[in-house]
A and B are shown apart, each in its own frame.
Chain A
Amino acid sequence: MPARARPLSPHLQVYRWQIANTLSILHRLTGVMLSVGLLLLVVWLVALAGGPGGYETVLRVLASPLGAAALAAFGFGFFYHLLNGIRHLFWDVGYGFGRRERRRSGWLVVAGAVLLTGCALAYSAYFAH
């Protein structure tokens, strides 16, 4: 037995929720989501190669309320994973490890992802009509 209690490894059930681990989990979640997006992208490409009939069907599904909601979610996932991925790459080369820097870049990534998703949605809505 050790002389004093050692820190436990961070089990999700007892880990205090904070921005750092939330963003880390969100990076994974959006990554898995974008993997599903890859399959959809391939379906879209194969339909396009197959001819106008199938392609129009895929477009109709994407334009439905459920399809549009899914596209918006994929949009946020894309921008979040892209920005947070760049944040991770900066860490990998040794920059931005300070406590304040980590926190600030984290919020910056969230704000940027929300903003870019909003812009993309507004742009698409504007040009769809």
Chain B
Amino acid sequence: MGSAKDGTGHWWAQRVSAVALVPLALWFLVSLMSLNSLDYASVRAWFAHPFDGFLAALSVAVLAYHSYLGTVVVVEDYVHSAAAKLAALLALRFLHVLAGGAGIFAILHLTMGTMGS
């Protein structure tokens, strides 16, 4: 299917990640807003709960995946030169793996690193 190469798979992945993000994003927002304060201790206490850490890590993973799929379509639609397109797509891939990896690593550290300290 055109420039997308594997259109159906991409289309489907975009929808599945969108459906997953509806409850995850709402959970994240409601949890964040129901904290008494956004100060260091309060937010750390939130992520110290294993289940909250798990949901937060899941949210970052699905968000990074959904964001990657979306921005790839934008690059494919608007970047026309083959070299620039390849460079932009590579940059998107690196950036999203980096963002997802760093975010999940930070959450794991917050949830597990707090034990005993």
Q: Which residues of A contact B (CB under 8 A)?
A: 28, 31-32, 34-35, 38-39, 41-42, 45-46, 48-49, 52, 55-56, 59, 78, 82, 85-86, 88-89, 92, 120, 123-124
Contacts and interface: CB of A to CB of B under 8 A. Distances in A.
A32 B71 contact: yes
Given A78-B29, A120-B33, 12 more contacts: A31-B70, A31-B74, A39-B95, A42-B103, A45-B107, A48-B43, A48-B106, A49-B105, A52-B40, A82-B22, A82-B26, A92-B15
Contacts, number: 72
Interface of B: 15, 18-19, 22, 25-26, 29, 33, 38-40, 43-44, 47, 60, 63-64, 67, 70-71, 74, 95, 99, 102-103, 105-107, 109-110, 113
B88 to A, nearest CB: 13
- Chain B contact residues: over half helix, strand or loop, or mixed? helix
A89 B106 contact: no
B64 to A, nearest CB: 6
- Chain A contact residues: over half helix, strand or loop, or mixed? helix
A32 B40 CA distance: 29
Given A42-B106, A48-B44, A82-B25, A124 B33 contact: yes
B19 A89 contact: yes
A42 B19 contact: no
Nearest to B59: A41
B47 A38 contact: no
